[in-house]
Structure formats: structure tokens, C-alpha cells
Amino acid sequence: MPTPFKGGCRCGAIRYQCSAEPMMSAFCHCRDCQYASGGPFSSVLIVPSASLALTKGEPRSFTLTAESGSEVTREFCGTCGTPLFSKLAANPAFGVVKAATLDDPSWVQPSMHIWTDSAQPWAPLSGDLPRFAKNPQG
């Protein structure tokens, strides 16, 4: 996996760089990720917040209370609408990067399905990856 890795929104108004390897990669099936992605799940990378830096532009944001009860701030491009990041109030040391926003997302290898209690029946889970009803514990 390349480090650092770079990415941005579809129109190029927002660019970022991450200087650390992801600590985890997952398919998230929570309803909030479904809304943000417009699909049955979102492919996400969990990275140390301190390793993530904007190199161009400023994203817009929307804060909500997630099913977990914690606040989540979703950041996106205000011009093209590309979902980019999530910030977790319950765990500010970690940031969430939407995998599809990487310049080269081909190296991403999600290791689990999370929030499968919210998975849509019209999009069956594929593969033999571990599955967690909510967030993995431990």
C-alpha cells in the first residue's frame, strides 16, 4: 500500500494527502453511509487524524447523531458533492476517508463488513470477510 497516499473530489476543488497507512479498511453498511454514498454501503479507510492533511480547498460539512449515539461530521465537496471524510466525535484520534476518493483506490483491500444490521437485502454481502452487526469490539 502506498504511503503517503493522495486523493480528492471529482471536480478537483478539494485535495488531501495522508502520511500514514490505514489502520483498517471496511465496507460500512450503516444507514448514514448509505445516504452519503447513495448506495448500499461505503468503502472506508480508518486513518490517524493527525496524518490527514488538506492540500487544496475546504470541504463543507454536515454533523448528525449516528445510530451509535455519537456525533459524526461528514465532509464533502461543496462544488461537486463528493463525500470525502467523516470525523467521529467519540474517537477524534481517527478519521475516515472514503476509499473511492483516492487517486488510485486499486490497492484498497477491505478486511470486514461493519454495521451489517443495516445492510440492504437487495445488495447481498459478498465474500468471506468477517461481519459485524455494529462496530467491531476490541
Q: Which helix (H) or strand (E) holds 37?
A: helix 31-37
Task: Identify the sign of the CA torsion 7, 8, 13, 19.
Answer: negative
pLDDT single digits (tens) 23-74: 999 999 999 899 989 999 999 999 999 999 999 999 999 999 987 788 999 9
CATH number at residue 71: 2.170.150.70
Domain that holds residue 46: 5-118
How many distinct structural domains can be found in the chain?
1
pTM of the model: 0.91
Instruction: Give 135's pLDDT tier (boundaries 50, 70, 90).
Output: confident
DSSP states of 109-138:
----EE-GGG--TTS---SS--B-SSSPP-
Q: Is residue 102 part of a domain?
A: yes
The answer to whether 57 and 77 are in contact (CB under 8 A) is yes
Q: Is residue 123 part of a domain?
A: no
